[in-house]
Structure 1
Amino acid sequence: MSLSITRHLDTGAEPNTILQVLTPEGTRHPDPVLDPHLGDVDDEKLRGLYRDMVVLRRIDREGVALQRQGQLGLWAPCEGQEATQIGTGRALAAKDYVFPSYRETGLVYVRGAQPGDYVRMWRGEEGAAFDPAALSMAPLQIIIGAQTLHAVGYAMGIKHERADEVAVTYFGDGATSQGDVNEALIFASAFQLPVVFVCQNNHWAISEPVTVQSRFPLAGRAPGFGIPSLRFDGNDVLASLAAMRWALEHARTGQGPVFLEAVTYRMGPHTTADDPKRYRDADELELWRQRDPLTRVEAYLAAKNALTDEHRAAIQKEADDMARSMREACLSMVTREPLAVFDNVYSAPHPGLEAQRTAFADYLASFEEA
């Protein structure tokens, strides 16, 4: 690659280098780029990150179970990507605003969601998944890559108001092939906006492997837009935390946008409507199971005698309690009548809408007649 990331980052790292501080085996090793941003991470804080990932995995599995039991219309699993979401999410300040895709359950969690917030949208109930103002987080975005434009627009407002905030947007490797993402990068670079682009490279854009999406590391694209980038092990929660802290400092101090590529893996299906066995090799899945983001932290803490049986039991109880509350919130939701979808669309009566209401009512009645 002719244009190196090192032109923008004085790290000595080549574009294909994946920065890491915690190996899959749970061994901690120094990294000159990431270590300066991890000085405050003691055993207690690392246990907190581990707890977050355990709780997130339990939330995710409960979401899959609820969908399989007919309580949710769909669920987008994030198993395998916990370290990226928890690590980068815990680096954010409360004032920073997040623009997610549909898989960022971990960001919903770290921003302080209530149990029902995880399922409301996937159940098809009235209202957004959560209150955007309460979480400083835009609604989950289904249209691939559209949220990057929203983040850039918000960042333009931050710069105009000279506010001490950063807009952060998350998307997958497949989204980098969308025009929206590239347009967002161009605009952010041109106006030097305080926005962080987080690409969760989970290796599969539904059934399309990342090797088809790009022949080179995705982080190597950003310098072409004049945006510094960093490529790191997205299954390493410490690397994820440090990378986001670096990016936020860069953006918050008026140095413009940043692109982060978290190299991770989607362990489950794209959504619960997908069957990954049709396109993914079992050996590849097993290889990534050995790089599990939870087990490496567990091994590291255990080796330091910083994860006792009491810690494990308390963490598991918190995860189970969260899943129980999430299920209870889901099952207690009251679904409004089907025709209510036409209520409050316009402030005044509209003949076209009334015609649609009548047609839909006749359609529903046909099932009763049958």
Structure 2
Amino acid sequence: MAGIDIEGLATVYPNGVRAVDGLDLHVADGEFFALLGPSGCGKTTLLRTIAGLETASEGTVRIDATDVTRTEPGKRGVAMVFQDYALFPHMSVAENITYPLKVRRVAAATRTETAERTAGELSLQGLLERKPGQLSGGQQQRVALARAIASEGKVLLLDEPLSNLDARLRLEARTFLKKLQRDLGITTVFVTHDQAEALALADRIAVMESGKLRQLGSPREVFARPTNTFVANFIGSTPMNLLPGKVATSAGTPADSGSVNGAVGVVSVAGGSLPATTISTPAGAEVTVGIRPEYLTLTTSDIPGPAIRGTVVVAENLGTQSLVTVDCDGTLIGVTVPEETEPAPGTPVTLTAPLTRVLLYTKDTGDLLTHQPAPVP
């Protein structure tokens, strides 16, 4: 297996568009690494540049400490699974799996043994003689994975391999893919625009926007503590509440284990105020306040202390939870509550949050202002 090191990488198209713009990145040996971002952010271009299918305009790509920036794709030691699987329709499953070995002139007996062994690992027994058109979407995906594994690459590159599956099969394939990667221990780079997939599968996530890296961290870090409002708004099955606010009082000292006894400041928002760590943020400063719906608490009682007050507008059923939208002096704020506990529209409610979950961002650049260590969810 092997790690990947990317330094100052840029991929510039003939029209001048910098699809990848000066990226520095390290993927550890055996890591399951996700490239996440909206369509057009450059994540697939980055993956293809690692594979050698796109030419790097600037910078270097190293695999297993070897500079492969100008090395042709077939000699980089990578295996790739494309979004549409790219199976040969006229070949059987066995022939598709062993095609990379055939290209390398591996003996027929060895190819047959590899096909049978790999098919067994991916539950494809009994399908080796079928053609791709005779397989389900999930089976085709596993054939593409089997072909990549059979090629014995040092690195596995996956370009949105779950996007063509229906919702239920995607969940099953996600579990299968994570277990397979753990069993193989192969360094894997996974491209997706689906943040739920990235959060579920990855050891670390790189969030990209317009060819640039916006945040790098574990799924927990990226979800609980986005370092800018772009990531905050992009990550999460329910969008983070991003509210205009103003620092009412500034503590000037670090928060201590979540206590609100003189260690934190207060930030005012529509409908009330919230406790927040306001280190180095003077009173009166305008900020953007970030708080996830999952971290807010809703009650129909009026309680003392920093809180937001408003009126329920609508409740949306999410299964085990409901997303309640609250009108707070004209600003809509989302909060999740357990199923069947949502108050009726028109009900006056109070929203509170622990200070460790309230994030402050600069009004102009959207960068995170609060820097205390992220709490463990």
Q: Normalization by structure 1: what TM-score?
A: 0.26
- Structure having the higher strand fraction is 2
- Structure having the higher helix fraction is 1
Larger Rg: 2
Q: Normalization by structure 2: what TM-score?
A: 0.26
Larger RCO: Structure 1 or Structure 2 (Cα < 8 Å, ≥ 6 residues apart)? 1
